[in-house]
Amino acid sequence: MKKMNGWKMIAAAVVLVVSLTACSSSGGSGGSYPSKPFVVTAPSGAGGGWDKTARSLVKVLTETKLVDQTMTVENKPGGGGTVFLAEYVAKDSKDPYKLFVSSPPILINNLKKEGNSPYGYKDVKPLAQLTKDFGAIAVAADSKFTDLQSLIDALKADPKSLTLAGGSAPGSMDHLISVLPAFKSGVDPKAVNYLSYDGGGEAIAALLGNNADAIGTDISSLGSYLKAGKIKILAVTSPERLGGDFADVPTMKELGLDAEFLIWRGVFGPKEMTDKELAYWDKTLKSLSENEAWTKELTANDWASEYKNSADFSAYLAEQEKDVQELLTALGMQK
């Protein structure tokens, strides 16, 4: 009987060691990471920068097998991204299999702005910046406005006479791009009529449907419409002229306006992501940024590569937060 008890004790000890080893190797997350499918959300409708970024990201990660698990894209429009962010912070703060892509609107601009989401980049985990882009002002091809100055002159005469549209909430990226030329020309930005849509695709549709006189958005979303002859791009917010299809588009700076606006796009996860999970994405997204397939995707979408890892991206967001808050204060939109 004593011998049997001894064997039972040894067996129990082995089971305990194996269990502890398994827990240690899983990082306490119930298994290795990743071990199930990912969902990457674009907080907008189809079309526009967020949707394109999410789909390009998933496409390249899957095709290159940098991620072995299945990855799907879902669209969650509403409030220029603010509805999604509030839901994400409330429900998905511990789910490392739910990621999303974003740019300045819902993570910087709305952080302390009156009437919008109180959430920002500090409520989630920045994983990496992937691209950089610039803002642009565009009109329909048959618009009476042939250059930026003619649009500004009309806004000076009567700011309420025109409708400017964008794919983000009031006070966020597209809104700031839309009113920036007017503001820099002495027009009260609060007097400019801005119409918000759930994504750049809807804003462009409004422009082409004569429901807006002009739009402010990221220039990379406009390339196909420019090639098709459906729009005219009046100006871009880059420090110098861009190349390719946009070589003939003047910068606001060369038109005499001290107006630049950089747009980043990045990937984010839940705030409570573990060190192990974060390390996985640091390695994976760095490999993505160096992959030829990703370079081709950037070129196809008129994006410029701008990779920052999680730590560098977080530091950059802290700096940009200050810059955007200063702009919002100048525009009279800061809380």
- What does the pLDDT read at residue 12? 45
Task: Report the CATH number that the domain containing residue 166 is assigned in CATH.
Answer: 3.40.190.10
Lowest mean pLDDT among 68-72, 93-97, 328-332: 328-332
Same domain, 95 and 242: no
Note whether residue 33 is domain-resident. Answer: no
- What does the pLDDT read at residue 326? 63
Task: Report residue 5's pLDDT band, with 50, 70 and 90 as the boundaries.
Answer: low
Note whether residue 94 is domain-resident. Answer: yes
pLDDT per residue as tens digits for the range 188-199: 888 999 998 877
Same domain, 214 and 160: yes
Lowest mean pLDDT among 26-35, 53-62, 85-94, 103-112: 103-112
Same domain, 90 and 157: no
Number of domains comprising the chain: 3
Same domain, 123 and 270: yes
Cα distance between residue 244 and residue 3, in whole Å: 82
Same domain, 155 and 218: yes
Lowest mean pLDDT among 7-16, 63-72, 199-208, 275-284: 7-16
Note whether residue 188 is domain-resident. Answer: yes
Structure tokens at 8: 């039972």
- What does the pLDDT read at residue 121? 84
Which domain does 13 fall in, by range? 1-25
Same domain, 163 and 185: yes
pLDDT at 260 over 60: yes
pLDDT per residue as tens digits for the range 168-195: 777 778 888 999 999 899 998 889 999 9
Note whether residue 254 is domain-resident. Answer: no
Same domain, 197 and 54: no
Average pLDDT in the chain: 84
* Percent of the chain topping pLDDT 90: 53
Q: Which amino acid is at 180?
A: L
Same domain, 164 and 124: no
- What does the pLDDT read at residue 335? 55
Note whether residue 257 is domain-resident. Answer: no
Note whether residue 253 is domain-resident. Answer: no
Task: Report the CATH number that the domain containing residue 129 is assigned in CATH.
Answer: 3.40.190.150
Same domain, 173 and 237: yes
- What does the pLDDT read at residue 47? 75
pLDDT at 124 over 70: yes
3-state SS, the chain, equals CHHHHHHHHHHHHHHHHHHHHHHHHCCCCCCCCCCCCEEEEECCCCCHHHHHHHHHHHHHHHHCCCCCCCEEEEECCCHHHHHHHHHHHHHCCCCCCEEEEECHHHHHHCCCECCCCCCCHHHEEEEEEEEEEEEEEEEECCCCCCCHHHHHHHHHHCHHHCEEEECCCCCCHHHHHHHHHHHHCCCCHHHCEEEECCCHHHHHHHHHCCCCCEEEEEHHHCHHHHHCCCEEEEEECCCCCCCHHHCCCCECCCCCCCCCCEEEEEEEEECCCCHHHHHHHHHHHHHHHCCHHHHHHHHHCCCEEEEECHHHHHHHHHHHHHHHHHHHHHCCCEC
Cα distance between residue 50 and residue 131, in whole Å: 12
Same domain, 274 and 323: yes
Same domain, 62 and 158: no
Cα distance between residue 106 and residue 79, in whole Å: 10
Same domain, 166 and 268: no
Note whether residue 241 is domain-resident. Answer: yes
Note whether residue 185 is domain-resident. Answer: yes
